[in-house]
Structure formats: structure tokens, C-alpha cells
Amino acid sequence: MPHITDPLSNAGFLLDQGRSGEARDVLAQAIAGGLDGAPIRSLMGLVLHQLGDFTGCARELRHAVRLAPDDGAAEFALASISYRLGDEAEAEAATRRAIHKGMDEVHPYLLLGRILNKQGRFGEAEVAYRMAVRRDPTSPQAQRELAQLVWMQTGDLAKARAELDAAPQTPEITAITVRLLQAAGAEDAAYALAAARADRDPTLNVLAARAALRIDAKAADRHLSAAPPGTAARAKCEIEVDLALGRVEQAVRRSEALHGSRPGDQHATALLAIAWRLAGDPRYRALYDYDRLVKTYRIDPPEGWSSLEDYLGDLGLALDRIHGPLTHPVDQSLRHGSQATRSLADYPDAAIRALFRAIDAPIRRHLAAIGESDQKYQIDSAWSVRLNSGGFHINHIHPEGWLSSAFYVRTPKVLQGIEGALKFGEPGPPTSPPLREDHLVKPEPGMLVLFPAYMWHGTVPFSSEEKRLSCAFDIVRRS
């Protein structure tokens, strides 16, 4: 290491070298020696962030703000870590101060929009997102979140895509617009846009191929031949095109190779399962062993409730309050319904918090049933979905999970046949020949269904004036 006497330069050098612990020690010695100041505190905050000490990071950034009361960048850094720590009040206040102190740019407005959106202050969030887009129309994050919020509030595709259409048409903006069109059910328009843009930008050919899969699989094949090689996205899309065109042997070879190189990739496993099923390979049944891997449990009423019926009633009321009038989000599986805008773990309602206690015992029974001796797990994400008449989930997987779930709070009382059923095995991408579901679960209030995250699943649409209310979460292994 070169001889550096300035503690800021010294710590910065160590941080760049990945020696965060040593950088922390240098800064701590400087502070103890009286060389305090906003730059040192800000850098200490960054170092502690790198070390995973987010509470310590926030503490140091508060010091920096006090030592440099006119520094908008320090306020924004404090806002960002406060948001990560879940302190939305401090995050909002610090973000507004950062803007007032001169940070009149995209990132503070984007963060402010996220804070307000999570709190259900949708009108204010839209204003903040529009301010972010005005400052940088090419920002994918600002454009995506504005378009999604407008879509969810209005269900009006023209309003939702207005700022996207006015923005410089970068590949990222095109991709956001295509996914918005697909969420709105405008599949032909989505493909037409992707194909037109791919003619000018080869990097968009994978996007165009995906958009073409259900419309013209041969066109999807042509787009892939023009796409840049070597990406995981292209490799997965090649398998999807093979499946759509009935090139089963090639799909098997490619999916086995992809799975071999990415064994922890749930999407790769899901594609391999389709290829094996089309090929009649018995290994498909090992992956989709429904008797062993898909199980249903009825939860017990949590402490504080005398019956499951009373608990589900209180949970249903709590969830209804957080759904509001929104329609389904972009890039999610549900159609004709709404999804809560934040993780269920964020809500203080007693009935929602009790759900995590109620599902613990069934999860542990399930881990034992599938042969997992290690009972350590954590819930990575948890959300709630409310479906209206005609509502359903398209077939999908959960790529970030290990185990996935569906917990039913309220289901329509009168349904015909398999309406509303949870179905397994029907793929998301099209296949030749077409594959149908090969396992069904009929939902009931109080039922928890657990299954591998790589399993293709969706739901059968239902017709009823009663809404279907459910929760879902992804489970990951905890080391």
C-alpha cells in the first residue's frame, strides 16, 4: 500500500481494495483523534454499509447531516439507508430535505415515489414519479414505476404508456413498453413493437422472440438467429422456441446443458421439466412427484383467536384494507385483480403478523415430509392477491424461491367444476404438442399449499361476485 497520510484518502484506498474492515479502523482512529467532519462520517457510513452494518451506516450518516446541514447528498444517502431499514418517516423527511438542498434530480424523486407508493399515497407517488421522469426521461426505473402505477390506478393503457412513448426509445424503454402491453393483454401490439425495434437494434431480438412465442413461433426462431450470442436469456429463449416448434430432442439437449451449468436456476429447472415431459422421460416424474412434493395443510388458529373462522375473518378484513381499488401490476402472474403494494411483513395489523406464526408449524412439517433434515428456513417475500370474477394467474414459476406457497383466506362459495383450482404442470411457454395441467388442488379457506418453486403453476378462472383472497410467500434456505 502506498504511504498515504490523509485518513480519507487512506480509507478510500482500502475500500477500493475490498479491505473494508481496515478502512473502518482508519476512519475510527481519525474520529477518535479529533479529525471529525461530514466527509469522514459519510465515508464511514459507506464502509459500514459495505460491511453489512446498516444501522451503523444510518448513525454515521445522521452525523454527516448534522455536520454539513446544507449537504443534499448526505441527506439523500441518509434517506436511502433509512428506506432500506424500513424507517419510511425518516426516509421521506430526508428525501424532501435533499431535494430542498439542491438535489433536484431523478434519484431523490424516484425514492420519494417509492416511499409514497408503499404507503398507499398513490396520487403523491405519481407526482413524484413524474418529477423523476421529467428530470431523466431515459431512466428505466422511473419510467417503469410511473407506467405501472398509472396502469394499476386506471387500467388505461394509453395513459400508462404516454410518458414511455414520449421518451427517447432506448432498448430499456422499449422493453418496459412491451411488458406493459403484455400485461394489458395486447400481445399482438407488444410483438409488433418489439419486432420493429429489433430491426434497428439486434439486442432487442430476444425480447422480440419472447413476444412472438404465442403468435408466431417461426418468427421467434428468426429473431433468435439475429440475437447476440452467449447470454442466459438467449439460451433460455432458445429452449422455449424449441418447445414451441416441437423440436423436443434439441430442447432436451439444450435444457440439460443449461441446467448443468446453472443447477440453482429455477427457470432452467422448469424448462428442463417441460422438455423431459414432452420426451416421455421418466425423470420428469421425479421433478413433479406430486404425492411427495405438493402438500396441503390446514393451519391452526393463531394465539388470540378462538377459531380458524374468526381468524380468517379478521385476516380478510385486514387484507381488504391494503388492497384498495388497484388493478393487477405489470410483470406479475395475476390477471383481473390486485396485489398488495408491499410485503406482508411490513404491515402492523395483528392478524397479518399472526399469519407468519400460523404457517411456521406446517412449513416445518412439510420440510420433514420432503426429507429435509435441516429445518432452518426464512420467508424471502410475502404478498397478498385479491382476484375478481374472471380472475386467474397465468402459468408461472417463482425463480427467486426454493419452496413456494398459496394460502387461501377467502374463496367463492359456489363455483362450477374446476373453477378457481390451483393447477400444476401446464407450462408458461407454449409447447408442441400442447401440454395441459396434470395435477389440481381445490382451494379452501385456511388451506396452505406448499410446492417447489420451479413447478409451473397457475389457476383456473372463476365466475363469481365474491372475490378470492389469498396470500403467497417464497421460502429460501437459511444458512
Give per-residue pLDDT as tens, 433-472. Answer: 999 999 999 999 999 999 999 999 999 999 999 999 999 9
- Residue 375 has a pLDDT of 87
Report the 10 Å Cβ neighbour count for 196.
12
Q: How many CB atoms neighbour CB 98 within 10 A?
A: 27
Indicate the domain borders of the chain.
291-477
Contact 223, 205 (CB under 8 A): yes
pLDDT value at 4 more than 70: no
Q: Is the dihedral of CA 89, 90, 91, 93 positive or negative?
A: positive
135: confidence class by pLDDT, cuts 50, 70, 90:
very high
Which whole number is the average pLDDT over 396-424? 95
Whether the predicted model's global pTM rises above the 0.85 cut: yes
Query: Do residues 275 and 431 make contact, with C-beta atoms less than 8 angstroms apart?
Result: no
With beta carbons less than 8 A apart as the criterion, state whether 463 and 416 touch.
yes
By percentage, how much of the chain surpasses pLDDT 70? 99
Identify the pLDDT of residue 346: 87
In the chain, the amino acid numbered 131 is M
Instruction: For residue 57, give the nearest of 86, 29, 85, 37 by alpha carbon.
Output: 85
pLDDT value of position 1: 42
pLDDT confidence of 6, banded at 50, 70, 90? confident
Strands 403-410 and 377-393: unpaired
CB 266 within 8 A of CB 454: yes
Q: Taking residues 225-245, what's their average pLDDT?
A: 94
Q: Does residue 109 contact residue 117 with C-beta atoms inside 8 Å?
A: no
What confidence tens digit (pLDDT) does each residue in 34-49 have? 888 899 999 999 999 9
- pLDDT tens readout for residues 253-294: 999 999 999 999 999 999 999 999 999 999 999 999 999 999
Mean pLDDT score of the chain, rounded to an integer?
94
Listing DSSP states for 293-345 in one string gives: H-EEEEPPPPTT-SSHHHHHHHHHHHHHHHHTT--PPTTSSEEEEEE-SS-GG
pLDDT at 125 > cutoff 80: yes
Mean pLDDT value across residues 67-78: 94
**Which pLDDT does position 287 carry in this prediction?**
97
- Residue 367 has which C-alpha cell? 420440510
Q: What is the pLDDT of residue 2?
A: 45
CATH class of 291-477: mainly beta
pLDDT band of 5, cuts 50, 70, 90 = low
pLDDT at 324 over 80: no
Judge if the upstream peptide bond of residue 433 is cis by omega within 30 degrees of 0: yes
Distance separating alpha carbons of residues 114 and 355, to the nearest angstrom: 26
β-bridge partners, 214: none
Instruction: Return the residue matching grid coordinates 378462472.
Output: 461
Tell which residue, 412, 409, 339, has the closest CA to residue 381.
339
DSSP secondary-structure letter at 228?
Answer: P
Of 145-159, 308-322, 337-351, 407-421, the one with minimum mean pLDDT is 337-351
CA of 295: how far to CAs of 314, 365, 443, 449, in Å?
Answer: 26, 10, 12, 6
